[in-house]
Structure 1
Amino acid sequence: MIGILGQAREFNAMIHLLGEMIGDGRRRPTVVTYNRMIHAYGRANFIGEAVKVFHEMQQLGYEPDLVTYCTLIDIHAKAGFLDLALDLYRRMKAEGLSPDTFTYSVMVNCLGKGGRLAAAHDMYVEMIQNGCVPNLVTYNIMIALESKSRNYQSAVKIYRDMQAAGFRPDQVTYSIVMEALAHCGHTEEAEAVFTEMRRYCIPDEPVYGILVDMWGKAGNVERAREWFRAMIDGGLKPNIPTGNSLLSAYLRAHRFFEARDLLRDMLWMGLAPSSQTYTLLLSCCTESSSEMMVCRELMSITGHPAHSFLSSLPDSEPGGENVRGHTGRFLDLMHSEDRESKRGLVDAVVDFLHKSGLKAEAGLVWEVAAERNVYPSH
């Protein structure tokens, strides 16, 4: 009942029931009781309450077990408190509790998300050496971490090892491996993985997006378009990143009329062009007047705020305060965008202004962006 109430986030009722249990005198709580409470608070992201229960159970004479520590490590890792998760892991080992597969998987994921990729790999090796058999979740985490480190060959090797160990990949596995193979340039192998995947899972939009992006980057616009159409024919609605992948393929091939049709189709499907969409269009502008004209037309179709910003950018006055103010208002409008997207967009805007002969304006835009921490090193 305590577990059920905790899952339902009925925390007052959960505490009341615990009080009844203690007051009854015949049915004392156990470590399992407290573990369920810690888990319930953790799922609701009430980390402080979970830690409070952890301390209370010890004050009442209950020794935390492996499940207690694993639950707390997982809670802190998912919330981004890497150092606290590591402290709990060390404390658990100091108390003589040996990590199991779940604990190791949580720690590998925790270290990987914290950017400590070498430490994550060492933890995985320690897990194997201590006789803990990886499960599907562990393999997925390791494949993803190797891909994140750009060790694509290693990612594919772990995938093969997983299959040899008798584990059937799930949709997460297939997606990560397809991406790794695509980065290695093994396009046909990635398609073969997709074919295998379809026997066990129903592909979603991001999976099709990997194929569109893969063939687009390989310079095979026709295959990229075929997969884009296959997604739609399969009853799926493309997302903006997938539309951007096909758009990028068209632009690299200088197929501007098809790029224009795609932009219009995206708008018709309710896909509002993103900062990345506009960045792609800005980046394809050359100093050729004819291509610049076509790109301006494409940029106007997007209706993106960056186009309004560029279209109404004033000529720089002495001191450049008018351009600075105009840029500041635009960056205020873009405040919810992630830093990477903003940085890419500003870089493209500055480059575009240079190509358009507006060097003073380009410098002012860059300065304001640097002041707004778009470039974290400045």
Structure 2
Amino acid sequence: MQVMLVSAGELSTSATIPLADDDDDDDGEDEALRDARALDSPHYEVKELSELPEQWRRAKVAWLCKEVPSHRQATLLRLLNAQRKWVTQEDLSYVAVHCMRIRENEAGFRVYKWMSQQHWFQFDFALATRLADYLGKDRKFSKCREIFDEIVNRERVPSESTFHILIVAYLSAPIEGCVEEACTMYNSMIQIGGYSPRLSLHNSLFRALVRKPGGGSKHYLKQAEFIFHNLVTTNLEIQKDIYSGLIWLHSYQDVIDRGRITELREEMKQRGLEESVDVLLSVLRACSKEGDVEEAEITWLKLLDTGYSLPSQAFVYRMEVYAKIGEPMKSLEIFKGMQEAGIPTSVVAYHKIIELMSKAQELKITEALMDEFIGSGKKPLMPSYIDLMNMYFNLGLHDRLESTFSECISRCRPNRTIYNIYMDSLIRVGNLEKAEQIFNEMITGGTVNTNARSCNIILGGYLTSKEFVKAEKIYDMMHQKKYDIDPQFLDEIEYILRLNKKMMKKPVKLKLDEEQREILMGLLLGGVRIESDEQKKIHAVFFEFREDSDVHSVLKTHIHERYHEWLTSFCMLRDGNDEVPYRFSTVAHSNFGIFADQFYRSGRPSIPKLIHRWLSPRVLAYWYMQGGLRTSSGDIVLKLKGGSREDLERVVRTFQMRSLNCKVKRKGRISWIGFQGEAANRIWELMEPYVLEDLKDVLKPEGQKMVLEEKLNDSIQLNHVV
């Protein structure tokens, strides 16, 4: 459907607004986005300027059409506020449509938002839909979603085009969480909107689900099956990669549904689709998890018949199959065969064979393989060090375990698992003093941190050595952190408390300590968010860390431990799992109210008015670790989200009062505050005592004076994020 309007410079003619093209897109138009052109949007028309009743109004509207696209948000708001006395919804609708015509969609969005906040505003479904569609085509998914939500809140069902375009916009965004939002929109499109998505949309969403590595994609199986079901029920073409992708997802599940895999393979056969190497690898992976040697060997022969060079992963799965049925030496034979065939030995292959040999307690073979792995220069070594130390622990070779621990921490970043194994070994040999030293190092180091297992290990050591006072202190700490106490220690703990005429403690009343408060302030400045339930006056903190950041991979473990007692039960680690997720959240609690009030206004990030009192060295350090970066030239840059220009000026003045000169770049609601040369050194001196030990070398400025103007005049080089 087309929209009739006239431009500001052509008062007597009408023009047509086509859907926005993506000619600049280097990758060409996405098939799903091209399909959106065939979808009907509600018909929307605006009057021509010549139809407006007064000449002065026509002139002013034409002037607004010229001025609005040329101003940034703050100036634009002042401009619109100055027109309150005369402007009407009809006038501004014309301006918004004009902005869409000239592809100034963000300007059109700002005009629409200002208009929607006026007392005379009447919701216009057609205009809202048109604007949402244009924003979505520009990949402005957050603004498109804002209008989408407004349509829903007005008790209207968004058009098919809006659903379709918003899903494509989410899939085009390289931002964590967008795939999940696309899935939500897709499901709503079918279940609430009652629409039948185009084939291209089904395919685009499905491919996005399987684009991540297996570990990340396996949670999308239910969604992938739903897409497959919709393809079947609407009689759309099911392409070969949909079948192979679905089998791939099934092969990564913890519990394999072999019946479903067989069913999908049979369907492929009936449709005349040949099984690719990817499908055969997926089947082999499924066999390796169940120990199905017969099916694995049949699949292996099919892989050989393809004539393609086999990936090392195929050998790894075959090794795993034989280990499952108790034939680890056959696995070793397969590993040696892979090397003899001239196939490069991957890191995964080394990890797997060392894991299998260590579990089989083949001491000399495991040590030889570990030496070979280290000599290859491949990394990471940590998983294999953990397997090696576990083998030494089970064999009672505590001297070798200790030397391996020392070797490991000299080669690899410290890891909580190896610290726990070493501490458990020290307890076994009766070296409680050394174990206590390691435990304290974990607490004070700030990088490794303790967990429930660490505390239970040292608690067991204290109880065995009759160190009841120290055992009670560990019990108090575990109680505070909400750690589960090993059942074998409960009777002894109860006996100790009875001797001291104490009772087993009830759940503690949660309260933030001073350090937790400062850390949270820094994290909030760095981008951590708070969600509030205004009716119940409770608030939850959502911690999110980037998977592509070395700094965040260390920081997340520290934060998870530091706020352990506040975390939801779902976010706490269970069953010996030491892998901290990149996203976790606290329980909703009134104690976070002051932070919600100060750092969020009307649901948007903001800057506290008393920020000059709160910017302590610890707050700065956690702000830097969460939302800062060190540029390639060694300068320090802090990212600040939200807040007005006045808020930003208040932050800058706070730095200037401390003789910390800085440069600022503001783009939308994001600000970058840069420190160069001597200023970078001075702010680092303030932060360094509170920066995690393992991150100091990564985040420390280089100290020489560098020119920062060029970076801040355009944009920060995000590829330098550490």
What's the TM-score once normalised by structure 1's chain length? 0.65
- In the alignment, the residues of structure 1 paired with residue 138 and residue 259 of structure 2 have an alpha-carbon distance, to the nearest angstrom, of 37
- In the alignment, the residues of structure 1 paired with residue 25 and residue 190 of structure 2 have an alpha-carbon distance, to the nearest angstrom, of 25
**SS state of the match for residue 6, structure 1?**
coil
2:315–2:335 contact (8 Å) kept in structure 1? yes
Structure 1's 299 and 156: CA in aligned 2 closer, same or farther, altered over 3 A? farther
Match of 1:150 in 2: 255
Superposed CA offset, 1:109-156 (max 9, x none): 759959465565344334322212422232133223433152331343
Moved more, 168-177 or 367-376: 367-376
RMSD: 5.3
- In the alignment, the residues of structure 2 paired with residue 257 and residue 300 of structure 1 have an alpha-carbon distance, to the nearest angstrom, of 20
Tell me which protein shows more strand as a share of its residues: 2
- In the alignment, the residues of structure 1 paired with residue 453 and residue 331 of structure 2 have an alpha-carbon distance, to the nearest angstrom, of 27
Match of 2:26 in 1: 7
Q: By how many angstroms is 1:39 displaced?
A: 7.4
For 1:1-378, list aligned pairs within 5 A: 3=22, 5-7=24-26, 41=139, 47-48=141-142, 64=161, 68=165, 71-72=168-169, 74-75=171-172, 79-81=176-178, 82-91=180-189, 97-105=195-203, 106=205, 110=209, 113=217, 115=219, 117-118=221-222, 120-147=224-251, 148=253, 150-157=255-262, 158-198=264-304, 199=306, 201-286=308-393, 289=396, 291-296=397-402, 302=408, 303-304=411-412, 305=414, 310=422, 323-328=438-443, 332-333=446-447, 372=561, 373=564, 375-376=572-573
- In the alignment, the residues of structure 1 paired with residue 324 and residue 454 of structure 2 have an alpha-carbon distance, to the nearest angstrom, of 20
The one-letter code matched in structure 2 to 1:326 is E
1:140–1:172 contact (8 Å) kept in structure 2? yes
Moved more, 251-260 or 205-214: 205-214
1:211–1:224 contact (8 Å) kept in structure 2? yes
- In the alignment, the residues of structure 1 paired with residue 137 and residue 309 of structure 2 have an alpha-carbon distance, to the nearest angstrom, of 32
1:182–1:190 contact (8 Å) kept in structure 2? yes
The one-letter code matched in structure 2 to 1:206 is Q
The one-letter code matched in structure 2 to 1:143 is I
Q: By how many angstroms is 1:251 displaced?
A: 1.8
- In the alignment, the residues of structure 1 paired with residue 278 and residue 371 of structure 2 have an alpha-carbon distance, to the nearest angstrom, of 32
Q: By how many angstroms is 1:270 displaced?
A: 0.9
Structure 1's 262 and 63: CA in aligned 2 closer, same or farther, altered over 3 A? closer
**SS state of the match for residue 161, structure 2?**
coil
- In the alignment, the residues of structure 2 paired with residue 349 and residue 217 of structure 1 have an alpha-carbon distance, to the nearest angstrom, of 33
Q: Please, which runs of 5 or more residues in structure 2 have no aligned partner?
A: 1-20, 29-97, 103-131, 150-158, 211-215, 484-559, 565-570, 576-722
Structure 1's 236 and 256: CA in aligned 2 closer, same or farther, altered over 3 A? same
Q: By how many angstroms is 1:209 displaced?
A: 2.3
2:290–2:321 contact (8 Å) kept in structure 1? no
Superposed CA offset, 1:254-290 (max 9, x none): 210111110000011112454322332233345654x
Structure 1's 68 and 143: CA in aligned 2 closer, same or farther, altered over 3 A? same
Structure 1's 146 and 63: CA in aligned 2 closer, same or farther, altered over 3 A? closer
| Number of residue pairs aligned between Structure 1 and Structure 2 | 341
Structure 1's 350 and 281: CA in aligned 2 closer, same or farther, altered over 3 A? farther
What's the TM-score once normalised by structure 2's chain length? 0.38
Tell me which protein shows more helix as a share of its residues: 1
Superposed CA offset, 1:38-86 (max 9, x none): 6785xxxx7548879999xxxxxx9838974662464479843324532
Structure 1's 212 and 151: CA in aligned 2 closer, same or farther, altered over 3 A? closer
Q: By how many angstroms is 1:328 displaced?
A: 3.2
**SS state of the match for residue 335, structure 2?**
helix
1:221–1:250 contact (8 Å) kept in structure 2? yes
1:208–1:227 contact (8 Å) kept in structure 2? yes
- In the alignment, the residues of structure 2 paired with residue 39 and residue 218 of structure 1 have an alpha-carbon distance, to the nearest angstrom, of 54
**SS state of the match for residue 216, structure 1?**
helix
Structure 1's 63 and 285: CA in aligned 2 closer, same or farther, altered over 3 A? closer
**SS state of the match for residue 25, structure 2?**
helix
Q: Please, which runs of 5 or more residues in structure 1 have no aligned partner?
A: 10-18, 24-33, 56-61, 336-341
Structure 1's 255 and 63: CA in aligned 2 closer, same or farther, altered over 3 A? closer
Superposed CA offset, 1:301-340 (max 9, x none): 55444568948989767xx98554401356x4459xxxxx
**SS state of the match for residue 383, structure 2?**
helix
Identity percentage over the alignment? 13
1:76–1:84 contact (8 Å) kept in structure 2? no
1:174–1:197 contact (8 Å) kept in structure 2? yes
Structure 1's 217 and 377: CA in aligned 2 closer, same or farther, altered over 3 A? closer
Q: By how many angstroms is 1:241 displaced?
A: 2.9
Moved more, 250-259 or 193-202: 193-202
- In the alignment, the residues of structure 2 paired with residue 249 and residue 185 of structure 1 have an alpha-carbon distance, to the nearest angstrom, of 14
Structure with bigger gyration radius: 2
- In the alignment, the residues of structure 1 paired with residue 382 and residue 454 of structure 2 have an alpha-carbon distance, to the nearest angstrom, of 11
1:117–1:149 contact (8 Å) kept in structure 2? no
